[in-house]
Structures are given as C-alpha cells and as structure tokens.
Amino acid sequence: MGKTKRPFWEEKTLEQMTKEEWEQLCDGCGRCCLEKLEDEDTGEVHYTSVACRYLDTWTCRCLDYPDRIRNMPDCLMINPGMIRKIHWLPKTCAYRRILEGKGLADWHPVVSGNRESVHHAGISVRNKVISANHVTQDDLEAYIIDTEI
C-alpha cells in the first residue's frame, strides 16, 4: 500500500510554496482588509469594522486584486518574508497559523473543499463590516472594535 501524501502546507515552508499554493492559503476571510489604526505612542494596532473600499463585503474578495497595490498604496502584498514582520495578522490567518506551527483549521477552504466554509464558520467579515466608501478617514476612530471580527 502506498503512503498517503500530506498536503502541501504540511510539507513545505511558506518560503518553499509556489505562487499558486501561496494564493490557496488565503482563506478569503477579509480580515486583513480591515482598516487599522496604530497608536503612535504604544504601537498597538486597533482593528475597525471598516473594510477597504476594494473589498467586496459579501464575497470577502478584493474587487481589484491584480492592481490593488497600484490603486491602494496602503495595501500590502503579503509574502513569506513579510509574514514574520506583520504583527497584526489575525490569529485565524492561515499564513500566521502555519508560521506558528498550528496548521490549518477545519473550516479553511482547502481543508473543507468548500469556499463558503470560512463564512459558515463565522470567521469572515461577511455581514460584519461596512465599506470605507461610506466612512471618512476622520471618522475611523468611531469604528474601532475591541476584539477581532
């Protein structure tokens, strides 16, 4: 009998993954697309319930993914080298979980085989946020949330 092959995220480090594998790890929760405010004195990052104007708040996918960096200069193109430096990634983020040796949660779409599982598990920002199209930058503080969405 042949040995069962383990999934790529258990076999490879983040740096060893192909671009396609890297993209598959994104669970589509939309949490990293929330507007964040950083306290200048403490460096503490506060999430808001306001999503980037390019985030489709239903699908939790970027409406301008190929050109997001050009059109939204604050958007970060997350890559393996950057993961170790970003302290605000949600605890549920696949990239963070793999880096911390936790593996993927059972609701993750590549584990469940269902792109909707992240939404059914309540992990995504679907129905929990508003678009930055409806909020001024000066009003963001009013939308700070105490816990991760």
CB 98 within 8 A of CB 14: yes
Q: Is 113 helix (H, G, I), strand (E, B) or coil?
A: coil
Domain boundaries, the chain: 14-143
Let me know the angle formed at the C-alpha of 69 by 65 and 74, rounded to the nearest 5 degrees: 120
- In this predicted structure, what is the pLDDT of residue 146? 74
CA–CA distance, 124 with 61 (Å, rounded to integer): 10
CA–CA distance, 88 with 104 (Å, rounded to integer): 18
Let me know the angle formed at the C-alpha of 84 by 42 and 37, rounded to the nearest 5 degrees: 35
Tokens at 37, concatenated: 């405010």
Tens-place pLDDT, residues 53-74:
999 999 999 999 888 888 888 8
CA–CA distance, 126 with 56 (Å, rounded to integer): 9
Q: What is the pTM of this model?
A: 0.86
Tens-place pLDDT, residues 110-132:
999 999 999 999 999 999 999 99
CA–CA distance, 107 with 122 (Å, rounded to integer): 9
